[in-house]
Chain A
Amino acid sequence: MKVCSRSDLETLRAKGLSTLYPSRLKVSVGMATCGLATGAAAVYDTLRDEALQRELDLMLVATGCLGYCQQEPLVEVRMPGRDRVLYARMTADRARELIAALAEGNLPTEGALAIIPEEKEPPAGSKPAGGLPRLNELPFYARQRKIILRNCGLIDPTSIEEYIAQGGYEAMAHALLDLTPEQVIDEVLRAGLRGRGGAGFPTGRKWQVCHDAPGQPKYVICNGDEGDPGAYMDRTVLESDPHSVIEGLTIAGYAIGAHEGYIYVRDEYPLAVERVTQAVARAQELGLLGENILESGFDFNITIVRGAGAFVCGEETALISSIEGGLGEPRPKPPFPAISGLWGKPTVINNVKTLATVPVIINRGAGWYAAIGTENNAGTVVFSLVGRVANTGLVEVPLGLTLREMIEGIGGGGLNGKAVKAVQTGGPSGGCLPARLFDLPISYETLTQAGSIMGSGGMVVMDENTCMVDVARYFIGFTMAESCGKCTPCREGTHYMYEILTRIVEGKGTPEDLDLLEEVARWVKMASLCGLGQTAPNPVLSTLRYFHDEYEAHVEEKRCPAGVCRALIRLAIVPDLCNGCGLCRRECPAGAISGEKKKPHTINPELCTRCRICYDVCPVGAIEIVR
């Protein structure tokens, strides 16, 4: 079938609705990368086998990521006419029980997290099963507003029909059939959408420049390189709702007059590559990509490029060079890609989330979008809330929420009830902000002023067990390894900063080292060629600013307050607490622990590498870190 008109879209929509809301039992398993990492595949297989064995008629589907990764594997059950129930932390055993219950016609409440109210006319008088909370009432979801993640975890990412059933490709049809490119640009401009890749440049303005730039052909590129190590927003969108990105990219192409688009996907995301490839092929098959889309006269094709493991390729000029077959080496700007990009032609490059937002803006209008968030910071942002926080997951909130509402409200505070010390946003380009700044509202400007950046959405929470000097060294180690090596400040400067920080964590630092570190950091920030070098010092500068006491403890007292830096700590077993179970002895990778069964064990400091594995495994907490 070829989709030639809006009524053809309606046909697909009906088909999508029939699988989204079937008239028989439906069980969905979250099978994005996170779900798979915690055993979703085994759960899926068990559900299938068990249902087969019990001859239970059910529709079993793999969906994407709902965002509440802390509770993965997540399984959602929909009985026709009843609210959907979401089960958390599913295991193969519990999957078996679930099928048994379902076979009896029961919807068990045990192990259920919440219900998802049926948007499709819930039957009058239906009550949430077993007094369970609604999903959007859970503290994790209450402050969230899903625009970018609107379909993630709700639809089958391999079904274009389900995407269409949720209103997908309507915006593209509207843009191509009813709007001029100028009107599309104007809508995006008035919506106040800013780039979600990190820098927050107004998307409409970028499109306008490229639209006006002389030169043909033009190109649009979706930046799915997501290099921030510790963040996975873009992966989720690409895996769980690939068509939203394809639709956004096509609209962008129409707006600027490009007929060729690229989606550049990070190499470490094989499932995202697979999903996007499949989605593009499907859209092509249906004529939603290709020649004369919806008989509008507009042609558009998409090529998928898989990255190859280089953080710097997230930088737009490096990404372009990488597509051209060169090194991922940035070049000086100006000229900006909107004027001279791929093959020297005008090129728009946008982040995954930016593009996924575009269809919603076209559908609901600039005014609707601009009213979300705050002045100059319109709309929503997605954060991957991870690290030492109780609720990890993917969170979408309106701009303007405070860090505290984010970390304590949605995140539920520190891991195991520990006090949160700092939060890191923006990955290797960002900074560490102390808890006392948590009342700052989240916006591009406030985070930059505080010494961090918004970035693409990485948010790593740190507590008293995190050493800020070690964190600074970690990030500089990362940027040093990822520096392309082209320009002097970034190549030589990150290397030298790493040397100084290594001296400090080894207890060999001097007070002069701190001054030198700051001097070099400022220079690298000021003099580097591309954004990688220009932002690489942020983790160092922000920790020097907010956690100077920790640096001083390392340098002056040769002490690591967090008990992390190996050269400055020692591990010891408290004989009175040790029951001689021997677990630590078995797990110690250095063979440093000895002792007889049921007698207190001891650690040989000569052999101990201070990896702290024993500290983690001791069931009775008999091992202490001596700082």
Chain B
Amino acid sequence: MINLTVNEQPVTVPEGTTILQAVRAAGVELPTLCFHEGLAPYGACRLCMVSIAAPRHALVASCAYPVEEGLAVETNSPEAVSARRLALEFLLSRCPQSEVIQEMAAQEGVTASRFGTPPPERAEELCVLCGLCVRVCREAIGAAAIGFIGRGMERRVGTPFDIQAATCIGCGACAEICPTKAIKIEDRGNKRILHTWHTTVELHKCPQCGKLFAPEPMAFLGEMFPEIEEQWALCPECRRARTAQQWVEQRFTSPA
């Protein structure tokens, strides 16, 4: 076990825990956008930054930083607060239409951005490039149907060539995990239309054997990603072959 302090309050957590988890264990709130328990740390949005005062001085992204013995974490140091505010102010100027971002920014006292508005072609932008959709599709589902396209300010998420993604199974995990509701999905008859991905999928093809069947909740997925429980399932036969228990074990014994 590792001992540290969060805002001067002592906390003890198991080794390998992130600072973010320790902060939350201490009952302190911190905003996050790109973090999800079921996925590898990513450290991109920079909302969760905290100061560590000892053993050395630094500003770190808490979601990706493993705890160390004797760490003194401060979530409200001037640097941490200003880093968070500026990140939200910039995200607000990137996605002025996003209610989620508006609310998160307001929580930090940011109600308007000094950094301008997006160009007309991106006026409706909701995506904050947290990468959760790309990562859940790849790391958790294994379909790897979507990815990042381009780099820098041009970076966006999408399917190869911006056309129907052959490997998309229509699970909807991406849309569910998206913190800003940027991914548009619609069920119409026996079709699921993933507008953002230019992809239409028939309901519901088993990813293991390919058989069509009606979607039903899946217990083990629900534990890991409660939000996609109703969206995705193997067909009953395949599910039997590969139980929830097996999967959970695999997840925790093999390095991500």
Direct contact of A and B (CB under 8 A): yes
Asked if B129 and A491 make an inter-chain contact with CB atoms under 8 angstroms apart, the answer reads yes
Check: A485 CB closer than 8 A to any chain B CB. Answer: yes
Q: Are B153 and A495 in contact (CB under 8 A)?
A: yes
Contacts of B93 in A (CB 8 A): 492
Residue of B with least CB distance to A516: B114
Q: Does B247 contact A (CB under 8 A)?
A: no
The size class of the interface chain B forms with chain A is: 35 or more
Interface residues on A, range: 20 to 34
Residues in B whose Cβ lies below 8 Å from that of A332: 41-43, 61, 64-65
Shortest beta-carbon distance from B112 to chain A in Å: 14
Give the residues in chain B near A487, CB-CB below 8 Å. 43-46
Which residue on chain A has the smallest CB distance to residue B68? Answer: A334
CB <8 Å contact, B154 and A523: no
Is B43 touching A485 in the complex (CB atoms < 8 A)?
A: no
Determine if B255 is an interface residue (Cβ-Cβ < 8 Å).
yes
Chain B residue contacts of A611, Cβ below 8 A:
none
- Produce 1/0 per residue, A293-312, CB < 8 A to B: 00000000000000000100
Asked if A352 is at the interface of the complex by the 8 Å CB criterion, the answer is no
Contact residues in A for B153 (Cβ distance below 8 Å): 480, 483, 485, 491-492, 495
Assess whether B151 is in contact with A488, with CB atoms less than 8 Å apart.
no
Q: Determine the chain B residues whose CB is within 8 A of the CB of A519 once the complex forms.
A: 86
Question: Whole-angstrom distance between the alpha carbons of A310 and B151 in the complex?
Answer: 10
Q: Give the chain A neighbours of B41 by CB distance below 8 A.
A: 332
Proximity string of chain A (516-536) to chain B, C-beta cutoff 8 Å, 1 when within and 0 when not: 100110010011110000000
Q: Are A529 and B46 neighbours in the complex by a CB distance under 8 Å?
A: yes
Q: Taking chain A's interface residues, is the majority helix, strand, or loop, or is none over half, making it mixed?
A: helix
- CA distance in complex: A495, B129 (Å): 15
A488-B45, A489-B46 known; A496+B115 contact, CB < 8 A: yes
Closest-by-CB residue of B relative to A494 is B152
Q: Does B82 contact A (CB under 8 A)?
A: yes
Q: Which of B63-77 contact A (CB under 8 A)?
A: 64-66
Pairwise interchain contact A485-B87, C-beta atoms closer than 8 A: no
Interface string of A323-349 (1 = CB under 8 A from B): 000010101101000000000100000
The CA of A106 and the CA of B83, in the complex, are separated in Å by 71
Chain A residues 352-397 with CB under 8 Å of chain B are: none
Chain B CB within 10 A, most for which of A488, A496, A520: A488
* A482 interface residue per 8 A CB criterion: yes
A484 within 8 A of B: yes
With a cutoff of 8 Å between Cβ atoms, the chain A residues found around residue B148 in the complex are 327, 329, 485
Identify which of residues 483-511 in chain A touch chain B, using a CB-to-CB cut-off of 8 Å. Answer: 483-489, 491-496, 499
Q: Would you give the 0/1 interface string for A278-306, flagging 1 where the beta carbon is closer than 8 Å to chain B?
A: 00000000000000000000000000000
**B129/A485 in contact, CB under 8 A:** yes
| Of A480, A482, A487, most B-chain CB atoms within 10 Å | A487
Q: Once the chains are docked, how many angstroms separate the CA of A545 from the CA of B94?
A: 30
Taking A480-B152, A483-B152, A489-B90 as given, write out 10 further A-B residue pairs in contact, using a Cβ cutoff of 8 Å, ordered by the A residue number.
A327-B151, A329-B148, A331-B42, A483-B153, A486-B155, A492-B115, A496-B116, A523-B83, A526-B59, A527-B87
